[in-house]
């Protein structure tokens, strides 16, 4: 998509980050995929170079850069297939909760480590029987003197194995009406008694991304770990969803662009019946159709990114992007694998991994179906 290409400073940043990825990250991706996790030293490398939490205030170790720098990082990591290193989740989804709603003491305690890569973060919302219906979570946090005692189970938690700090959504008032008013956010640190991790879940894609089950059994944390106000957790989560869903759309868009690029290269080189695969009219038309859909996605995202940076409320349009772009990227993945023929099914060809990895973009941060429900309500539909 390459946003704001007239900005020379951003161009130079993109080029520097591309070189960093090729030097420090890309050579290791295959090994990480086999190991099922990205090592902590990769997070430290990202932090040392200022590629974690670029929007964080300089007082806490960030560079105070605009959101467009986070967009570049997300795009370029997606394009090289490093989606398993879930930096955008850490930098642009979890850390903003702490920066926006945390106390000065919490910020001083945690944010510098988040910027350096010494602290890896996760957010724990999803439960075994609760997905998109966040108000229905069962995990509780009972106030007991100067502590909260947390009990419950979470699943599908990205960065769940590596995380040093988990922002946990829990019910501090199980009897609140509506139920969403009883939810609070509480930060749980690695090593807290009663906090344990289950297995590193085996997934269809994103194999190098550690996704885990988390358990809280009489997990006692200081009351000072409450993020913001008690009972405001649902509001806090909703307030950050616009950016989360925008980033998920940006990742899917970048992956679609890369898949088309590699497929055009393959189809131009691969010979069938003495002709390049791309020279057959059906294949030409298919490549053109994909290129058109990808361009439509890029046009929508350019406008949305600009509006988001300007602080405008674009929840409906972001929901439209999140409902359409990941589905488009999955269509692109299907046709690109098909155009690769048998080689598209082989792990040694990047298109195979991209096709697996892109699938989840239509699921996390709100499924396609949930996005359509939101859009429908905002259109005034019953």
Secondary-structure percent of the chain, ordered helix, strand, coil, rounded to 5:
55, 15, 30
Distance CA 121, CA 92 (A): 11
**pLDDT for position 2:** 52
As annotated, the active-site residues are: 244
Distance CA 69, CA 290 (A): 27
Token pair, residue 94, equals 């979890």
Closest alpha carbon to 161 in 32, 33, 37:
37
How many Å apart are CA 360 and CA 247, to the nearest integer?
13
pLDDT, residue 4, reads 55
Q: What is the DSSP string of 208-270?
A: TS-EEEEEEEEEEEEGGGEESSTT-HHHHHHHHHHHHHHHHHHHHHHHHHHHHHHHHHHHHH-
pLDDT in tens, 187-244: 999 999 999 999 999 999 999 999 999 999 999 999 999 999 999 999 999 999 899 9
Q: Per-residue pLDDT tens for 90-112? A: 999 999 999 999 999 999 999 99
The residues pairing with 169 across neighbouring beta strands, listed in sequence order, are 185
Find out if CATH 2.40.110.10 is the number for domain 122-230: yes
* φ/ψ of residue 377, rounded to 5: -65, -40
Which of 285, 288, 291, 265 minimizes the C-alpha distance to 276? Answer: 265
Instruction: Give, in words, the CATH class of 235-378.
Output: mainly alpha
Closest by alpha carbon to 3, among 313, 332, 317, 303? 303
Q: Residue 320 is encoded by which pair of tokens?
A: 């439209």
Summarised one tens digit per residue, pLDDT across range 233-272 is: 999 999 998 999 999 999 999 999 999 999 999 999 998 8
> With 90 as the cut, is the pLDDT of residue 172 above it?
yes
Provide the phi-psi class of 159: left if phi over 0, else alpha when psi is between -120 and 50, else beta: left
Residues 142-157, mean pLDDT to the nearest whole number: 97
The DSSP-derived string for 255-315 is: HHHHHHHHHHHHHHH-EETTEEGGGSHHHHHHHHHHHHHHHHHHHHHHHHHHHHHTT---H
**The pLDDT value given to residue 7:** 78
17 pLDDT band (50/70/90 cuts)? very high
Q: Report how far apart, in Å, the C-alpha atoms of 340 and of each of 84, 204, 344, 347, 350 are.
A: 24, 20, 5, 12, 11
pLDDT of residue 6: 60
**What is the pTM (predicted TM-score) of this model?**
0.94
The whole-angstrom separation of Cα 210 and Cα 38 is 7
The structural domains of the chain, with segments of one domain joined by +, span 8-119, 122-230, 235-378
pLDDT value at 1 more than 80: no
Give CATH for domain 8-119: 1.10.540.10
The C-alpha angle with vertex 231 and arms to 228 and 233, in degrees rounded to 5, equals: 60
- Point out which residues pair with 251 in neighbouring strands: none
Token representation of residue 232: 């405001």
């Amino acid at each position: 998509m390459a946003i704001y290409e007239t900005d020379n400073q951003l161009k130079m940043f993109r080029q520097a980050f591309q070189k960093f990825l090729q030097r420090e990250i890309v050579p290791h991706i295959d090994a990480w995929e086999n190991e099922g996790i990205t090592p902590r030293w990769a997070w430290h490398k990202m932090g040392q170079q200022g590629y974690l939490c670029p929007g964080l205030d300089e007082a806490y170790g960030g560079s105070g850069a605009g959101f467009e720098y986070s967009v570049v990082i997300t795009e370029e990591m997606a394009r090289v297939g490093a989606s398993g290193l879930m930096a955008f989740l850490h930098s642009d989804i979890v850390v903003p909760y702490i920066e926006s709603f945390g106390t000065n003491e919490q910020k001083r305690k945690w944010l510098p480590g988040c910027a350096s890569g010494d602290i890896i973060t996760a957010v724990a919302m999803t439960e075994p029987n609760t997905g998109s219906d966040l108000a229905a979570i069962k995990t509780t946090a009972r106030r007991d003197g100067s502590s909260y005692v947390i009990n419950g189970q979470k699943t599908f938690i990205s960065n769940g194995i590596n995380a040093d700090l988990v922002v946990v959504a829990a019910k501090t008032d199980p009897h609140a009406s509506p139920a969403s008013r009883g939810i609070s956010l509480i930060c749980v640190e690695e090593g807290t008694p009663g906090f344990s991790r289950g297995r590193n879940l085996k997934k269809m894609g994103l194999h190098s991304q550690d996704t885990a089950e988390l358990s809280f059994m009489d997990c006692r944390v200081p009351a000072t770990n409450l993020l913001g106000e008690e009972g405001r957790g649902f509001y806090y989560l909703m307030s950050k969803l616009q950016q989360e869903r925008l980033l998920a759309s940006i990742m899917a868009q970048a992956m679609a662009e890369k898949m088309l690029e590699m497929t055009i290269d393959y189809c131009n080189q691969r010979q069938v019946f003495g002709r390049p695969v791309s020279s057959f009219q059906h294949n030409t038309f298919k490549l053109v159709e994909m290129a058109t859909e990808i361009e439509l996605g890029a046009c929508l995202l350019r406008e949305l990114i600009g509006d988001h940076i300007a602080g405008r409320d674009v929840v409906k349009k972001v929901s439209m992007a999140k409902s359409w772009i990941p589905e488009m990227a999955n269509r692109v993945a299907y046709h690109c694998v098909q155009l690769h023929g048998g080689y598209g099914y082989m792990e040694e060809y990047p298109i195979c991994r991209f096709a697996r990895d892109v699938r989840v973009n239509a699921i996390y941060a709100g499924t396609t179906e949930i996005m359509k429900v939101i859009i429908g309500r905002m259109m005034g539909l019953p």
